[in-house]
Structure 1
Amino acid sequence: MSEDSESVGMAAQLAGVFLAGGTGATLRVLLSGRVEQALIERLPFAGVLVVNLIGCLLIGFAAATISAPHWRNIVLGGALGGFTTYSAFALFSLTLIESQRWGVLATQIGAHLVGGVICVWAGMSLARMLVPGS
């Protein structure tokens, strides 16, 4: 493969990551906003939790089924990287600490960490059941 074709391949991959990341971020804003409106009284910041758990399920499925490095970069790094958000989780955790809402903080941290690992496992398990050879 020539240096020019490698450059074109990398440029196309980066464009794919860019577009997928923007799409993932847009979907995150839309979904988390809807969930937040519906659950704000019961669980503050529930939108971020729902988005991150869905993202964990999807990343588990994608990690088990996508082997081509360029597609892994586009889907896992771009789309799902844009969809999920650790920084928002960290920010609202600090907000809960500052307002001394320890019960909500513990619920959110536990749900993100334990729920996230369970969702990645569930996504991988689902992929192995549905996609031969994954």
Structure 2
Amino acid sequence: MMMPELTVSVIAAGAVGGAIGAIARFLLDRYLRAGILLANTIGCLSLGLLVGLVSALAASGAADDQAQWQPFAVGLLALGLTGALSTFATVALRAALKWTAGARWKAVGMWSIHVVCGVAAAVAGLVLGWQLAV
């Protein structure tokens, strides 16, 4: 069960995770030159890891869905923390600004590196999560 029933505890967990993720993204962006790239890559890796872990546990029949993926954990980690940490909207805005300023190759390069790193991190997370579960 990846998407939990919407309850007050799931919303609260999402809010707490979202606050932590947003603060982490802000700090990464403020203090590191490639902070948004790092935040997006970590977000993709984390979500891939969580999905891989849960998928492997479900496939192995090690436990039922409720024991594997508690709604509070989904809200806190998957919906809140990872959702707020990764921000492709910021990349879109920065790429659009570069594009309209005439730096089109930089805009395309920015998008390309974020997409490649994000997909690679998500795949690595899926594989790692699967391996940790079995």
Give the shorter-chain TM-score range. Answer: 0.7 to 0.9
Residues 104-123 of structure 1: pairs in structure 2 closer than 5 A:
104-123=106-125
Could you report, residue by residue, the CA deviation over 1:74-99 in whole angstroms, capped at 9, with x for unpaired residues?
21111111111121111101111111
Which of 42, 54, 77 does residue 54 from structure 1 map onto? 42
Matched AA of 2:107: L
Between the two proteins, the alignment pairs up a number of residues equal to: 116
User: TM-score, with normalisation over the residues of structure 1?
Assistant: 0.78
Matched AA of 2:40: N
1 or 2 for the larger relative contact order (CA 8 Å, sep ≥6)? 2
Give 2:64's aligned residue.
none
Q: After TM superposition, what 4+ stretches of structure 1 lie above 3 angstroms from structure 2?
A: none
1:69 CA displacement: 5.5
Tell me if structure 2 keeps the 8 A contact 1:63–1:72: no
Residues 1-134 of structure 1: pairs in structure 2 closer than 5 A:
10-36=7-33, 46-66=34-54, 67-68=68-69, 70=71, 71-132=73-134
Structure 1 Cα separation of the partners of residues 35 and 104 of structure 2? 19
Alignment RMSD, CA only? Answer: 1.9
1:59 CA displacement: 0.9
Q: 1:64 to 1:93 in 2, by over 3 A?
A: same
User: TM-score, with normalisation over the residues of structure 2?
Assistant: 0.78
Q: Which has the larger radius of gyration?
A: 1
Q: Which blocks of at least 5 consecutive residues in structure 2 are unaligned? A: 1-5, 55-67
Structure 2 Cα separation of the partners of residues 24 and 15 of structure 1? 14
Question: Secondary structure in 2 aligned to 1:100?
Answer: coil
Structure 2 Cα separation of the partners of residues 32 and 131 of structure 1? 33
Structure 2 Cα separation of the partners of residues 11 and 73 of structure 1? 10
